[in-house]
Amino acid sequence: MPPVRLADVLAWIDAHVASLDPEIVPIFEAAGRILAEDLVADMDLPPFGRAAEDGFALRSAETIGASAYNPLPFRLAPAAGDLPANSAVCVTSGDTLPVGTDAVVRMDHAELTTEEMVTIIDPVVAGHGVEQAGCHCRRGCNLVVAGRRLSPADVAVLASAGFARLSVTRRPRVHCVFVAERVIECGRQLPSACVYDANGPMLQALLHRDDGLQVAQSHVARHQDAIAEALMTPGADAVLVAGGTGSGTTDCAAAAMAAVGEVAMHGVAIRPGQTTGIGRAGRLPAVLLPGKPADCLWGYELIAGPVIRRLGGRVSQLPFPSRTMTTARKIVSEIGTLEIHAVRCLDESTVEPMASFSEAGLMPAVRGDGFVLVPEPSEGYPHGATVSVYFHG
């Protein structure tokens, strides 16, 4: 069957893959997680009027007329109790505004004339140097909305509103099935005709980046029954199969997935990554990834990544910053296929294409600064064209 367009695969993911249920985590572990519910302040922030500065709290009305020619003396008083006329209370930023005062004069705008007296030379208005209750956020207002990835500042605001535990989307548990022969884990002796495994460490790293948890790893031979059995390992939210997706006589990953679930699409018009497929193993979303590492990488980035990020409550888009830049050389692409081209920055605004992934394996992803996607209808970009460059640094 002809390869499907990436957009159709992404539409299938949108229709068939939903956010996992939430879990409760302590606020100290919540940064970077996806908030699962809207949170509203159930107290004013700050909860009471307080000094915004280190200085002297006093009645603003009593400072009227103060100037360098008319310094006004205030007697220092304790914070508690009735405040006599022309008195001031020494306060530290964050202290409750003492009863009877309505302004704070900064330490360096006043002069401590004796241990008991302070002199003011500028009048202040009511509220000067004061944070009123609720001035950051009123009780009942939205603090952070569901679906947001919690930043350090988000966590701080929620903590200051008293939230000790938060409901966040559960991290997807992922089972990786590696279908390979003559692929050896690095660290061992390499027998002849064998290569070291790249996909194992790579998928582990990609899942970690996308906040997936690799809960199981199976290494199986290129036999349909063995793959099918591995696909049904319990305890995961999604399954990734790497290898055995091609047209060779022993490529039986798709058949194995069909036997225990459904192959919705197999063969996608992307390069690298054409033999990527998607469907279900039992009821779980499952992605077939090519065994060749560059193809496995892009099958993950364009198809498995969106599944994992969507399960985790994130946006499914590519997790890379992008910038509009200009091509310093022509980029040639096949019409009908979405091609990924690694690029290198020549300066702030110009990129040049590098060797293709089919010529140089993963090296362009290592040596390049980013990549350009050339969509299916395009035969590439001429020299001097404007392109969106994604940075994977």
The CA distance from 234 to 282, in Å, is 10
Q: Which residues in the 222-281 window bind a second copy by CB under 8 A?
A: 246-251
- Which has the closest alpha carbon to 246: 303, 203, 287, 289? 289
Q: Which is nearer to a second copy, 188 or 330 (CB)?
A: 188
Find the shortest distance in angstroms from Cβ 239 to a second copy. 19
Q: Which of 105, 365, 372, 387 binds a second copy (CB under 8 A)?
A: 365
Find the shortest distance in angstroms from Cβ 67 to a second copy. 23
DSSP 17: -
Interface with a second copy includes 18 (CB under 8 A)? no
- Show the binding pattern over residues 118-157: x = contacts a second copy (CB under 8 A), - = does not: -------------x---xxx-----xx----xxxxxxxxx
Find the shortest distance in angstroms from Cβ 10 to a second copy. 21
Interface with a second copy includes 213 (CB under 8 A)? no
Interface with a second copy includes 67 (CB under 8 A)? no
Give the pair of three-digit tokens for residue 278. Answer: 């998607």
Q: Which of 123, 361, 372, 390 binds a second copy (CB under 8 A)?
A: 361
Interface with a second copy includes 287 (CB under 8 A)? no
Interface with a second copy includes 323 (CB under 8 A)? yes
End-to-end, the C-alpha distance of the chain in Å comes to 36
Strands 238-242 and 284-289: parallel
Q: Which residues in the 177-196 window bind a second copy by CB under 8 A?
A: 182, 185-187, 190, 192-193, 195-196
The CA distance from 362 to 59, in Å, is 70
The 10 Å Cβ neighbour count of residue 348 is 7
Q: Which is nearer to a second copy, 232 or 255 (CB)?
A: 255
Count the alpha carbons within 13 Å of 333 in the hemisphere toward its beta carbon. 25
Find the shortest distance in angstroms from Cβ 330 to a second copy. 23
Q: Which of 4, 269, 288, 362 binds a second copy (CB under 8 A)?
A: 362
Q: Which residues in the 291-310 window bind a second copy by CB under 8 A?
A: 291-293, 297
- Show the binding pattern over residues 78-97: x = contacts a second copy (CB under 8 A), - = does not: ------------xxxxxxx-
Question: Which amino acid belongs to residue 313?
Answer: G
Find the shortest distance in angstroms from Cβ 57 to a second copy. 12
Question: Which amino acid belongs to residue 225?
Answer: D
Give the pair of three-digit tokens for residue 219. Answer: 């290494």
Q: Which is nearer to a second copy, 16 or 136 (CB)?
A: 136
Interface with a second copy includes 77 (CB under 8 A)? no
Q: Which is nearer to a second copy, 184 or 232 (CB)?
A: 184
What is the full DSSP assignment across 326-344? EESS-EE--TTSEEEEEEE
Torsion sign across C-alpha atoms 351, 360, 239, 264 = positive
Q: Are 128 and 110 in contact (CB under 8 A)?
A: no
- Show the binding pattern over residues 47-66: x = contacts a second copy (CB under 8 A), - = does not: xx---x-x------------
The CA distance from 284 to 162, in Å, is 37
Q: Which is nearer to a second copy, 70 or 114 (CB)?
A: 114
Q: Which is nearer to a second copy, 38 or 359 (CB)?
A: 359
- Which has the closest alpha carbon to 353: 382, 392, 310? 382
Find the shortest distance in angstroms from Cβ 29 to a second copy. 9
The CA-based diameter of the chain, rounded to the nearest angstrom, is: 98
Find the shortest distance in angstroms from Cβ 16 to a second copy. 25
42: left (phi over 0), alpha (psi -120 to 50) or beta: alpha
